[in-house]
Structure 1
């Protein structure tokens, strides 16, 4: 009975479990792995810290590369009070409280580094709310975003902050992080060399993801080191970073397009596969591939456009995954085809000229005259029917009378367009003779 009412000292509570990623958080900027282009002696942050002048910042980079850690350590090294908020969970009333607290702190001689995670999630009005507090020194703003600040942040905020690009961790960086984790765990991971490399590739440049995977592996009880196959059986491969409506989408389609333009079929196939494995709609790719044929091959190979349309139609009939092969074949054809943007450049020049020339009418000799009044006005007078002319070419002027004849289409000496250039030069010679 007395045991039920024992008033002796309670057993000590065991310490709460701390994830490996939290235990390995760097305590100084010198301990941060990677980002030497920002943190090095000649990097922007290195120069700011040396000069003792830190400005508001926006960290732009993928997840797990140290944005939060660097912000916290910046506050520590500059004796600023660190406040962290997330734009996902913070509303206007919360922001007002943060600013009021920062004002009081400033009056007491303490500055505030306000770290805003996912800052692009704030709307324009919320972003504008930071401006007066940045300008009067109440806060030093450090924002973090995975999205392109040029598109997602107000120009006013960007003009008051320096954008620093943080890069995904290299395999060398991830190996250093793995060694640091093994030291903290006081044991080596039960992996063969190739499996160790496979693990780091699974992390896809994300240090936090790597540490989470290492923590899982460290808990396994295995008798012999695991090879890559055994590792992949136990671990699900991390999905590659790809946002079908964000920066990765535009970055990868740009890489695909430029690989085709650069006549590199291997690179084109690689970026095509990257987009497909990321979940891109093959119909979007079919449309963009056809655009490449029109824009970059043009009349240097008139078959290119037809091949793209045929591959698109083949995809619609076969569906996925077999239909993607037809699109891949079209990509290879485009990459190896002769290139010309002559028609594209000519079209753009014609659009500019059309806007500049306003409402200039066509010359009267090429206007139809269905009424007697129009005939009296000179419509159609002097028109030369080309089929009746020598060589089937009259050489007449078809531009407005007030306009000097421009040269809009200038074919290149490649592929079929070489033949078109010969024809263009031939007609130019005839035109000069007929009008001489």
Structure 2
């Protein structure tokens, strides 16, 4: 193996290793999820369809142009298309033409169709952006869940390290006759319980990693991981706002509200299109045609046979044009036009009701998010106080245990209460962070962790 090949293989191996050891940040996860989500791709295809509909609507305002070409041969009795005389022979004929038509007035339906296509394009963009917002929240929740599980695992490992020290100390006290053998067994049972909690926590970390990887459409679960950062509760001014202020701001930019509003605009255009069918339709047309025949004829003056003109000459001699206008007046169509108008009016009213419902749902969600943040904040503060109290109680119990004034069972219970309190601090902290980010998201702030 030559030197260049060895260097190339080494670089490939290093690149592969660095890719496998990549630690994803929240911003990277959100961006990747938005770009690779299958539903997003489907909505993007719907947006492409909307753009095609807009092109169709624009084409409806332009004149149509079509051309025809035909050739045929006839044997026996037939009519010469250039003279309209019957002939009994084999005749070769050709014809061609160009036709153009333009709708001059159709109750402005083509104009409304173009406006509707533009609105439908915007509606699909709002729907796509709303989906991306939902994905961002889902990714943030899954991301913070991984961090919470990792922090919980660290807590149990730290407590296990403390328990190992207590176990070592207890063995010495038992050997010295200060403590009975039962106390050693109790500490060993506590250590075994912590080992089980560590295993369960490791499983929770793995499951949460798999959940986020699936959300990102990543199949390499084993090598997927997020950045090991211990986030603190970030300062936020959003709690200085009332739910009504947050709702008033959210209505102005939320994509789900914009989507509902665009559905009303679409329904209005559909109503205009339905009403346009009540008006007459005026159209214009223009047609150019020419023909060719290989048959000659007799000159009416001399009586001599005249051979057929050349192909090019006949195209000029036999050409002609026609043009005109056509007016269609709707009189009675079995109530279909009136019924379509009524259906469009009903659709418009339903769209208006849906907008009000979406606003009500948004206000409810913001109020719930506001209450959740307040509750999560109080729960986090209470967990911190509980942990502080449990830790002081544990330190006091440890001192009593080491001098033989407390049995191993009571000491292990004090340690278990510390473990539970520490785990609860981690859980409430990340729950508070997520609730806070949700409320900020409703207020228009981006999802970021610093």
Same fold (TM over 0.5): no
Q: Shorter-chain-normalised TM-score: which range?
A: under 0.3
Quick check: which one's helix share is greater?
2
Indicate the structure whose relative CO is greater, using CA pairs within 8 Å and at least 6 residues apart: 2
TM-score scaled by length of structure 2? 0.21
Q: Which has the larger radius of gyration?
A: 2
